[in-house]
């Protein structure tokens, strides 16, 4: 008898699975940074990574977004191309990842690994920090092409 024949029976092998949590997203984001080519890898390790389920309401308002699922990541800081050695840091540069919108995109796509998608979002947000051109991004993240 199969599970389809007996709907009360749990599907074998799926009992231990849970939705990817914030800790897994943090690990995937750190893996994305570690896998960057030099010279960006070392500099990217100085950008804080923060993972939360959704962007804060004030961020959505500031960006003119009504749907929190529209934003998978955000760079918060001053791009290196705009910094001066004379500037006093006000706060650390941060790449924010929003777990639930990323999961939703991952589900909708259905054709990409979660690690690849998280890496893509991290690279896109780091591009704001480094001031990368589209060509720079494509050299690091083939998904960009």
Please check whether residue 118 is in contact with residue 95, taking contact to mean a CB–CB distance below 8 angstroms.
no
pLDDT at 11 over 50: yes
Average pLDDT over residues 113-134: 94
At 4 the pLDDT is: 53
Note the pLDDT of residue 68: 97
**5, 63, 81, 144 from 24: Cα distances, Å:** 35, 27, 31, 24
CB 59 within 8 A of CB 74: yes
Please provide the average confidence, as pLDDT, over all residues in the chain. 88
How far from chain centre, in Å, is Cα 86?
31
Mean pLDDT of 113-139: 93
pLDDT in tens, 67-104: 999 999 999 998 888 877 777 767 789 999 999 999 99
What is 22-80+90-144's CATH topology?
Zincin-like (3.30.2010)
The strand pairing partners of 74, in sequence order, are 96
């Amino acid at each position: 008898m199969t599970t389809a024949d007996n709907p009360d029976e749990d599907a074998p092998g799926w009992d231990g699975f849970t939705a990817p949590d914030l800790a897994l997203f943090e690990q995937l984001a750190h893996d994305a940074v570690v896998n960057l080519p030099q010279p960006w890898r070392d500099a990217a390790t100085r950008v804080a990574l923060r993972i939360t389920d959704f962007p804060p309401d004030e961020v959505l308002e500031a960006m003119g977004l009504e749907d929190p699922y529209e934003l998978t990541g955000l760079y918060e800081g001053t791009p290196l191309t705009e910094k001066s050695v004379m500037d006093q840091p006000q706060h650390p540069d941060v790449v924010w990842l929003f777990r639930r919108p990323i999961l939703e995109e991952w589900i909708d796509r259905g054709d990409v690994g979660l690690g690849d998608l998280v890496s893509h979002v991290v690279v896109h947000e780091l591009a704001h920090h480094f001031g990368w051109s589209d060509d720079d991004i494509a050299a690091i993240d083939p998904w960009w092409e």
